[in-house]
Amino acid sequence: MIPGDERMVGMSAPFGLQPTVEIVQAGDPVLRASAPAWDPSARREDLDALVELMRSTMLAAPGVGLAAPQIGLSLRLAVLQDLWPIDEETAAAKEREPLEFMVAVDPSYIPVGGRTATHFEGCLSVRGYTASVERPADILASWSDLDGVRHERELHGWQARIFQHETDHLNGTLYVDKAATRSLCTEQNYSRFWSYEPASTVREGLGY
């Protein structure tokens, strides 16, 4: 069994529903620890069950990514998927393309070129808040699958942002560590005051 995953024991999916677990919130030390090196000796059936649990928890939240520390497990593992419907204008502004489900073991990334993008982000482990984060807009992503095969792929726009956000979790970093502090908003106030404003107006209004 994977260390720390005792919560999975005996979990079932009655009536075809998928089980979920509680998402750890900011302040829990597991979110500030760098996950140890990946242990390839974990049983595959345990890993498959964990991945399905993480996926169902992510989708139920709802979210587009979930790292193992967010459910209390200090493992270098994340799941990502962004297939939520979105209007064309918002998708274009955020360079948001559909991201099929992927499992990332021991992920890492490096910027490609010098282009950056600044957008508001949220996090399932920092419930109720959002803030503006500047990140590389283009990255070379690297990760292993559950079979231990290493993959590399260039990611751009919102896909690159999701991959960076989840990878950062495995190194004890939350998005608020990289955010413009004065941009921090409750989700309600962001929707009320800023969500439809141009970036320049938001920066001026919040003073960052």
Structure tokens belonging to residue 66: 């979930």
Asked if residue 77 lies in contact with residue 85, where contact means CB atoms within 8 angstroms, the answer is no
From the candidates 100, 154, 166, 204, which is the catalytic residue? 166
Asked if residue 22 lies in contact with residue 39, where contact means CB atoms within 8 angstroms, the answer is no
User: Using CA atoms, how far apart are residues 70 and 132, in angstroms rounded to an integer?
Assistant: 21
Helices (H) and strands (E) in the chain, counts: 5, 8
> Nearest 5°: phi and psi at 151?
-125, 150
H helices of the chain, in order, are 44-60, 88-93, 157-169, 187-189, 199-206
Asked if residue 175 lies in contact with residue 165, where contact means CB atoms within 8 angstroms, the answer is yes
For residue 64, the one-letter residue type is V
Active-site annotation holds for 166: yes
User: Using CA atoms, how far apart are residues 8 and 20, in angstroms rounded to an integer?
Assistant: 9
| Nearest C-alpha neighbor of 104 from the set 83, 81, 82, 77 | 77
Residues annotated catalytic, as ranges:
166
